[in-house]
Structure 1
Amino acid sequence: MQTEEMPFWQQLTLTQMSQAQWESLCDGCGKCCLNKLIDDETEELHFTNIACDLLDLRTCQCKDYPNRFKKVPDCTRLTPDLIDEFHWLPASCAYRRLAEGQPLPDWHPLITGSRSAMHAAGASVRGKAIHERHAGDWEDHIVTWPL
């Protein structure tokens, strides 16, 4: 049972949320749409500043969200049954934060009511990413700022 004093993300576990509540957790930062590299020797995950070509680099939203899995077969669908695998998401990600028992960041759209605070805080990929088609050698694009 939800109370009006506490928002749903403080009352429900990720697995208890409705689909609409789950989707609303996404802050729209675009960090999960950045390509990652895995070191063959150490299996360490490295973020790049190379965004999926479907990501609008200004709005940080997918240009074709309903058809993203058809157009980008290796696009990852975040679902509650994958919570144990959320360690690859950036530390600012609401899904990861809630899975780890942390609060949403102060700039999160569910708290502020808009995505402008997130962009103003520098928490999105806006102004920091390039598309795959312009990247060249991906190893030259490893970055630490998404973390």
Structure 2
Amino acid sequence: MKSSAPFWEVKKLKDMSRREWESLCDGCGRCCLVKLEDEDTGDIYTTDVSCKLLNCDTCRCKSYANRHDIVDDCIKLDPGNVTELGWLPDTCAYRLIWEEKPLHDWHPLISGTPESVHAAGISVRGKVTSEDQVALEDLPSRICDWP
């Protein structure tokens, strides 16, 4: 008997199809922000500077299929590394599913529209600048707290 519950409530991340996996992305753009690591403590700090491939208006990658070839340190999120990426936002569906928590009401899979993540103020839309526009030495002054 097939479950009537949505796939994200009954499947583990490792058991999801590629289509299901990709649909978990809420389009917030937060994973595409430049992060700085304190060499002494290992603490990770998020900036308001995005990867050069992030379209700051749509919060989607300009070259998703080729992103790993273009950006050397682009991390491919997969079921094997979700648990190791402590910088994933608390709102991230991949993190929520792994932690066995429900998706937020604004998540596109719940709301039915990709605009809900922006309307809820969760996305980086209108809040970031592309790394192409920021000097490397200025990155520490761009550290910010995200809700």
Deviations 1:35-84 (A, max 9, x none): 10011111111000110011000000000111111111210001111132
Unaligned runs of 5+ in 2: none
Structure 1 runs of 4+ aligned residues shifted over 2 Å read: none
CA separation of 1:18 and 1:2: change in aligned 2, threshold 3 A = farther
Task: Look up the match of 2:59.
Answer: 60
SS of corresponding position for 2:80 = helix
Task: Look up the match of 2:9.
Answer: 10
Structure 2: distance between partners of 1:135 and 1:108: 30
Structure 2: distance between partners of 1:8 and 1:119: 24
Q: How does 1:46-85 map to 2 (within 5 A)?
A: 46-85=45-84
Q: Is the 8 A contact 1:33 1:55 kept in 2?
A: yes
Residues paired across the two proteins, number = 145
Task: Look up the match of 1:25.
Answer: 24
Instruction: Give 1:106 shift.
Output: 0.8
Output the TM-score relative to the length of structure 2.
0.94
Aligned-residue CA RMSD (Å)? 1.2
Instruction: Give 1:86 shift.
Output: 3.1
Q: Is the 8 A contact 1:49 1:141 kept in 2?
A: yes
Unaligned runs of 5+ in 1: none
SS of corresponding position for 2:86 = helix
Overall identity of the aligned pairs, in %: 48
Structure 1: distance between partners of 2:123 and 2:83: 24
Q: Is the 8 A contact 1:68 1:75 kept in 2?
A: yes
SS of corresponding position for 1:46 = strand
Output the amino acid matched with 1:139.
P
Q: Is the 8 A contact 1:2 1:11 kept in 2?
A: no
